Amino acid sequence: MAESAQPNDDEIRAALVDAAAQVFAEEGYSGARVQSIAERAGLTTGAMYNRFSGKSELLLEALDMHTSNLLDELASAELSATDLLETVGVALLDDQSPASALLLEAFMAARREEDIADRLRPRLAGERSRLAKLVDADKADGVIDEALDTNAVVTFCQSVALGVRMLSVIDVEMPDSQAWQKVISVLLTSMAPDTDPPLDS
């Protein structure tokens, strides 16, 4: 009888990252134990420490995995910055994605663990850079007013996204999706260039 194939290193890493995402979602970062993550993956803690330095690295790997999937989906849709903001903004109301949960866990952990903060900054910077390119493209196309500072627009968007996710954690009553979409549409419209003809003097 042929022996079953042993998992390779990439498969073991993926199993550990997937298990970590599940355990962090259930128990939170601070409550999660390395042993629980290893057991969920069907592995030993030794197998985990041979591949990861600890919980912090697993948290960020799990966040990268789920965030990359979302960004790939959005990139394939080829949305403009304004379309992206409207689509994601409305979806945030009911966002129960693993990426959101992991991002909040990472932010909470970053308050106490500097290495997580250090690793989180470049990840957020990458997101900011991608969004800034979309904003600049919309400026060039006349969709967003060129006078608006790109960094300010990006910061506003990230702040809203994080704020909604934080409110959802404590079950704050969210607005109706149509009412929320109307607010987003008004905000995006206000970013458009002023096309009114100049008044005759």
Domain ranges within the chain, ordered by starting residue: 7-52, 55-190
Assign 163 a pLDDT band (cuts: 50, 70, 90).
Answer: confident
Most confident of 89-103, 114-128, 139-153: 139-153
Q: What angle do CA 49, 63, 132 make, to 5 degrees?
A: 140
Question: What would the mean pLDDT of 110-126 be, rounded to a whole number?
Answer: 87
Q: What are phi and psi of 6, to 5 degrees?
A: -80, 140
CATH number for the domain running over 55-190: 1.10.357
Residues contacting 168, CB < 8 A, separation 6+: 95, 100, 174
CATH number for the domain running over 7-52: 1.10.10.60
> 12-49 pLDDT, tens per residue?
999 999 999 999 988 889 899 999 999 999 999 999 99
Task: Specify the pTM.
Answer: 0.74
Over 50: is that where the pLDDT of 2 sits?
Answer: no
Residues contacting 119, CB < 8 A, separation 6+: 56, 60
Assign 1 a pLDDT band (cuts: 50, 70, 90).
Answer: very low
